[in-house]
């Protein structure tokens, strides 16, 4: 089981790096093929995150490491599936309540779900538009204090 957790953490690290690089490039160079590549990376990342969540539940810092857990939140925030985001928010709430997840990571997802549901944000964190755009501004979640 520990090997699976390490594999999930390493996968989340690689997914986060791929998304950050593709996002930076697509936003810096206005080319259609780069925006398409970014969307494909985000779609693939969302699918892989679903698999991780199905096997392990929400990837908390204790499960996959701090950076990998932060990458999971970034991937979820870039996902275009509000139903999956709400499902993960509910899993994250359980982890938050048990002390396994820093509130700062939960806050961004909770507010994104609130916007998708057209209800007032709980935390007031900046979120991207509910209409996905490749280079839409949204604030990536900060690293939780270790």
Residues 6+ apart with CB under 8 A from 59: 8, 9, 12, 52, 53, 68, 69, 72
Residue 56 contacts residue 65 (beta carbons within 8 Å): no
| pLDDT tens-place values along the chain, 146 residues long | 566 778 999 999 999 999 999 989 988 888 889 989 999 999 999 999 999 999 999 999 999 999 999 999 999 999 989 999 999 999 999 999 999 999 999 999 999 999 989 999 999 888 765 444 555 544 455 556 55
Three-class SS state of 78: helix
Residues 6+ apart with CB under 8 A from 137: 126, 128
Three-class SS state of 145: coil
Per-residue pLDDT tens over the stretch 70-101: 999 999 999 989 999 999 999 999 999 999 99
Three-class SS state of 49: helix
- What's the pTM? 0.84
Residues 6+ apart with CB under 8 A from 56: 4, 5, 8, 63, 64
């Amino acid at each position: 089981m520990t090997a699976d957790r390490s594999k999930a953490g390493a996968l989340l690290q690689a997914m986060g790096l791929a998304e950050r690089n593709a996002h930076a490039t697509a936003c810096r160079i206005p080319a259609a093929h780069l925006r398409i590549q970014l969307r494909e990376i985000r779609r693939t990342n969302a699918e892989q995150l679903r698999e991780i969540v199905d096997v392990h539940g929400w990837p908390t810092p204790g499960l996959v490491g701090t950076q990998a857990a932060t990458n999971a939140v970034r991937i979820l925030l870039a996902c275009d599936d509000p139903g999956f985001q709400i499902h993960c928010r509910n899993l994250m709430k359980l982890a938050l309540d048990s002390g396994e997840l820093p509130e700062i990571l939960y806050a961004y997802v909770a507010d994104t779900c609130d916007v998708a549901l057209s209800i007032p944000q709980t935390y007031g964190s900046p979120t991207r538009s509910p209409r996905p755009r490749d280079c839409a501004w949204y604030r990536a979640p900060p690293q939780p204090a270790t």
